[in-house]
Amino acid sequence: MTERTIRKAAMPAGISHYLTDYDAGRSGFTWEGARRALTGDTDARLNIAFEAVDRNVERGHGARLAARFIDRSWKRVDVTYTELQTRCNRFAGVLRSLGIEHDTNAVGPGSGPARPGPCVATLLGRVPELFTVGLGTLKSGNVFCSLFSAFGPEPLKTRLELGHVRVLVTTETLYRRKVAGIREMLPELRHVLIVREDVHTQLPAGTLDFEQLMRLSSETYEAAPTRDADVALLHFTSGTTGRPKGVTLTHAAVVAQHATSQLVLDLHPGEVYWCTADPGWVTGIAYGLIGPLTCAATMIVDREEFDPQRWYQVLAQECVNIWYTAPTAIRMLMKAGASLARARRYPCLRHMASVGEPLNAEAVIWGVEAFGMPFHDTWWQTETGAIMIANFAACDVPPGSMGRAVPGIEAQVVRRAGGRLEVIASPDEVGEIALRPGWPSMFSSYLESPERYRESFVDGWYLAGDLARRDREGYFWFIGRSDDVIKSAGHLISPFEVESTLMTHPAVAQAAVIGVPDPIAGQAVKAFVELRSGFEASEELRRKILGHARRLLGAVVAPREIAFSDSLPRTRSGKIMRRLLRARELGLPEGDLSTLEGRET
Ligand code: WT7
């Protein structure tokens, strides 16, 4: 803790928080208890969609608003839990009619986890259909994968292939721009369902009309008898090398997503909650869809992109109680000034949390200045499936710290010693974040990479790839990544994926991609390019390569900057040394750079 610690006494009063006494909350917690609290029974079956939707209807929350979607002109589309249930049933029925159905024989008793069912993917923004398709797919026992709609055709093709995606639901615009050109290369993609933006246009050849199929489908559907260990979700994340990693989560993930929605987001039934994450990333599904619904909360879904004025309007006008957002957005709000925030009143707002990248102390404190309460940092990753480390609503907040381990989670800072791990017992020493396996949302595989999965576990611990220190009180402080992946505006970007795409340009012989510090986005993607003989470095060529990368990768993933280099630094075996490039870029001694990122905290 520091002298800047924001004491819980300063937090808004009058709320019955889930976790007021951290130590008591931890010692009284078990995952079996959490599962029972969610489902109310000990049935062997467990289905995420059933817990998120049907269970609420069963318990009398049917008429409650599950979600309110707001569009550019502030037109609202309200969906109750009962309406959501009907829509999900219809979509599960659509999948059945297309022959995309969960094989219940594959989950016979005692047979262990079933092989994952067929994968249904969305390429959509924050629209009601995302809820329908995601939950309908889970209810039918198939695997749901939400793809990031800002990806270009190249990352999409890789992911659709790797996920063996059989059904894709998208809009006409996204289909024409990103999918039509790669469709032929995806023989496993059997059906493309189009959510129409305009009912008068003709659908692209080889696609089906989503709404038309929905209308023909039945309003009832019995949830597939899935069990805890059955694969439910597929999320893509990035490593340093190789293809993107397909992370699978099972239906049991709902237990951890529910428990943390209560313990960390402090969500009670009927509360209004706003998660600003994009559904293309794990936060947008775990806490932008599943977790909050299991708490019978009402979700605000703003379809528009970031805009300070609009965001303050959402918070005030929609009477948001709980807000989950990200450091890049907070830094952009800070840039626009606290007075803009204070121009409105937020009487409903009572808890603010952040995730995805280092949240600097100044941003936490700015929360107090602008809203009268701090941002509560939370730490987790795609592989953990739920929040693992957090600052809790009713506990002290040391600005700049990620918080303490969630009840049910054993988190430590460790160092490698030979093939073993050593828990670092003394406070404030830097090591790797390690988690003891056994929590229900832990990933069950990296798709088609069993050895990569095995390598994530050492000596009985899961190693997250992050460096941190832990203080005397058990609070974690983020230091940086232990690998070369880049975090830009909250997006995890693989340098390898960007390098591979750059090398498809005829002028590029070699490319090396690193993250360079950026005051708003945390890091920005920078590429160093070695040209093939016969090509001259020029401003025009630089622009051409940039354009090529943007077209194929999408603007979020493409490099912001390209520098030409006569010879990239290599190891003796020929591997490009990204770390050395990073050191040069920062003007640092070219020694060990592992502790350089995230230092602003
Ligand atoms: C990586 C995971 C968390 C879900 C969305 C991102 C970084 C995450 C924090 C934080 C500093 C953080 C880590 C982590 N990260 N939260 N509070 N402070 N860094 O999931 O895309 O799998 O990224 O994001 O490096 O390993 P992801």
pLDDT per residue as tens digits for the range 36-57: 999 998 899 999 999 999 999 9
What sign does the dihedral 530-535-540-545 (CA atoms) show?
negative
Which of 197, 217, 251 marks a domain boundary? 251
The number of beta carbons lying within 10 Å of the beta carbon of residue 56 is 25
Pocket of ligand 1 contains residue 355 by CB under 6 Å: yes
Q: Given 232, 251, 270, which residue is the final one in a domain?
A: 251
* Domain contains 419: no
**Which of 228, 251, 274 is the C-terminal boundary of a domain?**
251
**For ligand 1, atom 27: residue with the closest CA:** 381
Cβ of 492 less than 6 Å from ligand 1: yes
| pLDDT at residue 597 tops 50 | no
Task: Tell me if 3 is assigned to some domain.
Answer: no
Q: Torsion-angle region of residue 223: left (phi > 0), alpha (psi -120 to 50) or beta?
A: beta
- Does residue 545 form part of some domain? yes
| CA–centroid distance, residue 413 to ligand 1 (Å) | 16
CA of 560 to the centre of ligand 1 (A): 21
User: Within a domain: residue 338?
Assistant: no
Domain-embedded: residue 581: yes
Judge contact between 334 and 302, C-beta under 8 A.
Answer: no
Tell me: pLDDT of 260 over 90: yes
Radius of gyration of the chain (CA): 24
Q: Residue 239: its pLDDT value, please?
A: 83
CA 387 to ligand 1 center in whole angstroms: 10
Q: Indicate the pLDDT class of residue 241, thresholds 50, 70 and 90.
A: confident
- Average pLDDT for the chain: 93
For residue range 151-162, list pLDDT tens digits in order: 999 999 999 999
Q: For residue 285, give Cα distances in angstroms to 77, 212, 253, 277, 515.
A: 20, 26, 11, 9, 26
Please indicate whether residue 478, judged by its CB atom, sits closer than 6 Å to ligand 1: yes
pTM of the model: 0.93
Alpha carbon nearest to ligand 1 atom 11, residue: 358
Q: Is 93 in the pocket of ligand 1 (CB under 6 A)?
A: no
Residue 549 structural domain: 484-596
Question: Over 60: is that where the pLDDT of 126 sits?
Answer: yes
Backbone torsions φ then ψ of 527, nearest 5 degrees: -115, 140
What's the confidence (pLDDT) of residue 109?
Answer: 45
Q: Which atom of ligand 1 is nearest to the CA of 384?
A: 22
* pLDDT at position 595: 43
The total domain count for the chain is 2
Strand arrangement, sheet containing 522-531: 508-518, 522-531, 561-564
Q: Which atom of ligand 1 is nearest to the CA of 598?
A: 11
The larger pLDDT score, comparing residue 102 to residue 292, is at: 292
User: Model confidence at 110, in pLDDT bands (50, 70, 90)?
Assistant: very low
Q: What is the pLDDT of residues 484-518, one digit of tens each?
A: 999 999 999 999 999 999 999 999 999 999 999 99
Q: How many Cα atoms sit within 13 Å of 517 on the Cβ side?
A: 13
State the burial class of residue 288 (Cβ atoms within 10 Å of its Cβ: 0-12, 13-18, 19+). buried
CATH of the domain at 101: 3.40.50.980
How far, in Å, CA of 404 to CA of 383, rounded? 19
Residue nearest to atom 17 of ligand 1 (CA): 379
What is the whole-number distance in angstroms between the Cα of residue 601 and the centre of ligand 1? Answer: 14
For residue 322, tell me if it sits in a domain: no
Query: E strand or H helix at 561, and its extent?
Result: strand 561-564
Confidence class for position 591, pLDDT limits 50, 70, 90: low
Q: How many angstroms does the Cα of residue 45 sit away from the middle of ligand 1?
A: 31
Q: Is 123 within 8 Å of 174 (Cβ atoms)?
A: yes
State whether the beta carbon of 122 lies less than 6 angstroms from ligand 1. no
**CATH code where residue 589 lies:** 3.30.300.30
Cβ of 132 closer than 6 Å to ligand 1, yes or no, is no
List beta partners, residue 272: 298
Pocket test for ligand 1, best of 381, 478, 601 (most atoms within 8 A of CB): 381
Q: Is residue 521 part of a domain?
A: yes
In this predicted structure, what is the pLDDT of residue 15?
80
Per-residue pLDDT for 574 more than 90?
Answer: no
Has residue 383 got a pLDDT over 90? yes
| Statement: residue 467 has pLDDT above 90 | yes
In a domain, 143, yes or no: yes
pLDDT per residue as tens digits for the range 437-460: 999 999 999 999 999 999 999 999
pLDDT at res. 13: 64
DSSP string, 145-187: EEEPTT--HHHHHHHHHHTTEEEEEEEHHHIIIIIGGGGGG-T
